[in-house]
Structure 1
Amino acid sequence: MDIIRRESGVTRADLSLMTGLSRSAIAEAVQDLLNDHLVAEDVLEPGGKGAGRGRPSALLVATPPRGVVVGVDFGHDHVGVAVADTEGTVLAEQTSAVNVDGQGRAALDAAAGMASRLLSQLGLGRDQVLSVAAGIPAPLDVQSNRIRAVSIMPGWTRLNPADELSGLFGRRVITFNDAELGAQGEMRFGAARGLRDFVYIKASEGIGASLVLNGSVYRGSLGLSGEIGHTRLSDQSQGLWCRCGNRGCLETVVSSVLVAERMREVGLVAADEIFPLAAAGADPVTSAIVTEAGRTLGRVLADLCNWLNPAGVVLGGALGSAGQPFVDGVRESINRYAHPSAAEAVEVKTAQLGLRSELLGAVAVACHEALYVG
């Protein structure tokens, strides 16, 4: 099954060559898969792949399992839920404003309720959900599945997100850090398709990163990799206090909240308005503020380029939605501070999926679970 899925279709002869098994063994195994409706046969045209002089060969392709998957994105101030088929096509989705950081139980209930409503709208039952994946906007310990930095999300202090969601959905739920899912979304559906070594940055209220090395997300020994928002920019003891307990961290200088405050200070937006980052390229003052934020972030990413030599940096989150001015600032600092060869090798671009990167990443992980594990 792994070979058939990976190759997007193979003949019985191909399977024999790839596995070293005899034709009779392959025939028996394939018949079992056909009987279980896990694969289907697609007769090849004459002269096509695997076709010979005699009877046309049949290309074996994986049959998508019947059912749907659910992806959940917990932001600091919102919950997003999507229901998709097993190939990743979103059938329905909804996002609602929720105080996720301070009201963990309410956020979890909101996610389950939204999923139930979406399934009902599609005429589906929970028994048709094959897998569920969710992103949490905080460091997650891979051993305990608990949030390690409770100062970031105080309303989740005694909650285990995976266990709580599994109870609400009535099935096992996979949980990841939200930046990790952003990387998965861009790798499957967006700007990182085809890249095997890249860094995804979620630049919103905080600054988080996900490292994709040789095609796989690198999580670290405890799952806490990518917390670049807590990189100290200098040794100055008088820097601003960070929520991690240190002074002068990157996210005390760069975040969507700080950019919004700066824009309000210069009169670009009213206090109750959402700052117009999408128009950053059109307004010179907004562009200058966003570009400077990019320069500061790029100084940290330049060191990361020296360490890892990635092929790409994908900028997501609210600041990523500002587009080219943010890219220009990051690019400028990487060019200035990274080794010239490492700087030349890396492409800097914004997330193609925009603010949906994490939600679609949850869908991608749920699809993988349904197809390859479930």
Structure 2
Amino acid sequence: MTTAKTPSSRRHRSRELLLEVIRREGGVTRADLCRLTGLSRSAVADSVQDLLNERLVVEDVLDAGGKGAGRGRPSALLVAAPPRGVVLGIDFGHTHVSVAVATTDGRVLADQHSEVNVDAQAAAALDVAAGAAHRLLSQLDMTILDVRSITAGLPAPLDVRTKRIKSASIMTSWAHLEPERELGSRLGGPVVVVNDADLGAGAEVRFGAAKGFRDVVYVKAGEGIGASLILNGAPYQGSHGIAGEIGHTNVTSQEGWCRCGNRGCLETVVSSIVVEERLKAAGLDSVPNPDFPLSRSGEDPAITRIVMASGRILGRVLADICNCLNPSMIVLGGVLGTAGKPLVEGVRESINLYAQPAAAAVVEVRTAQLGLRAELMGAVAQASQRALYQG
């Protein structure tokens, strides 16, 4: 005998559906919910009231010209209430570890940056990250029990199945480690570890230079060079998580050996280390500001020339990506991204020269709006999103 669904079970399913839509959309009106779900106005009204009573949703009154506004009283925008507690975002660079404690809606409360040889000293880097996290929490009168979600980024390809670094020749001291388990055991809670360029891309798409774009190539050009691909609004990592390793594209046979074991890779010719060596060889001080090492590139003609030449080499590889993927936006991040306009001009010149004209015409090239904090803010954003969906 089939038992009919009770009104309470139908209301519960409506409530769960509405909560999912509100979280996904980032803010909707009651009229939007009727349109997006197909539920009746009365069903939406009842379920929304349940969500408001349970403090899973809050509402803001819109201005007259706001979303859903019309005649009569102002519409109310429904948004998911941020869960209590905090999140941790961690950015492992090749030579640094940055940690941030943030509210579950992404507002940074405290952060710390430490210089560490991450590539060669995995255990030390993990200890520094965990120590900084516990120290920051203590300063905020919190413990790991207050943390709802933790996301960390590593500057290396991660196998999506094993969650280990795929290439043993990149970050060799991490080759046999399980980063999520190692960091989780030090912190005392579960950790999600992803590629750092993917975090930078997510931050720039959500908050920065690529906001509103759905086909984006984000390039993190620092000590190494990696890219993250956002295709049709979704990150693309490839079958095993290695997509975007453009730093190991062969561009010449005349340069030195790369850490991957090949010769002539892009990052042996264009990386922040190589560019700074060229600046020093030219007798230039490349570090006028520790946070933005190349910020003088638009003022000093010699720095500008070196940066533009580096941009042309990087742009040659990005031109091929334009031919293959037809992105609408390329964002240049990492230390080289702080060079600003000269780097963009160099990249743009090569794209115009080598990319198919139609592909070159539609792609914009910008530097990362979040600068050197893009990866850290991406880790915070992803941790916040996970906390939201965990309730």
Length-normalised TM-score, structure 2: 0.87
Pair 1:46–1:267, CA change in 2 (3 A): closer
CA distance in 1 between counterparts of 2:322 and 2:63 reads 48
The alpha carbon displacement at 1:315 in A equals 0.5
1:153 to 171, 181, 185: 171
1:76 to 78, 88, 94: 94
Contact 2:255 2:269 in 1 (8 A): no
Residue deviations 1:18-66 (CA, integer Å, cap 9, x gap) = 322345544553344234320135567899847887x987653321111
Structure 1 residue 263 corresponds to structure 2 residue 279:
yes
* Aligned residue type for 2:333: G
Pair 1:276–1:112, CA change in 2 (3 A): closer
Contact 1:319 1:326 in 2 (8 A): yes
Percentage identity across aligned positions? 63
Contact 2:134 2:187 in 1 (8 A): no
Partner residue of 2:317?
300
Contact 1:44 1:51 in 2 (8 A): no
Partner residue of 2:10?
none
CA distance in 1 between counterparts of 2:328 and 2:180 reads 33
2:234 to 196, 200, 216: 216
2:377 to 333, 346, 360: 360
CA distance in 2 between counterparts of 1:208 and 1:12 reads 43
Contact 2:98 2:376 in 1 (8 A): yes
Residue deviations 1:92-135 (CA, integer Å, cap 9, x gap) = 11101111111111111111111111112222222221111100
**Unaligned 5+ residue runs, structure 2?**
1-18
Which deviates further from its counterpart, 121-130 or 13-22? 13-22
Pair 1:9–1:305, CA change in 2 (3 A): closer
Partner residue of 2:264?
248
Pair 1:100–1:285, CA change in 2 (3 A): same
Q: CA RMSD in A?
A: 2.5
CA distance in 2 between counterparts of 1:301 and 1:316 reads 14
Partner residue of 1:33?
51
CA distance in 2 between counterparts of 1:185 and 1:56 reads 32
The alpha carbon displacement at 1:151 in A equals 1.9
* Aligned residue type for 1:168: R
Contact 1:281 1:325 in 2 (8 A): yes
* Aligned residue type for 1:328: E
Length-normalised TM-score, structure 1: 0.91
Pair 1:154–1:128, CA change in 2 (3 A): same
1:196 to 196, 208, 214: 214
Which deviates further from its counterpart, 192-201 or 167-176? 167-176
CA distance in 1 between counterparts of 2:383 and 2:55 reads 21
In structure 1, the residue corresponding to 2:218 is in which secondary structure?
strand
CA distance in 1 between counterparts of 2:204 and 2:63 reads 35
Pair 1:334–1:9, CA change in 2 (3 A): closer
Contact 1:204 1:319 in 2 (8 A): yes
CA distance in 2 between counterparts of 1:373 and 1:352 reads 29
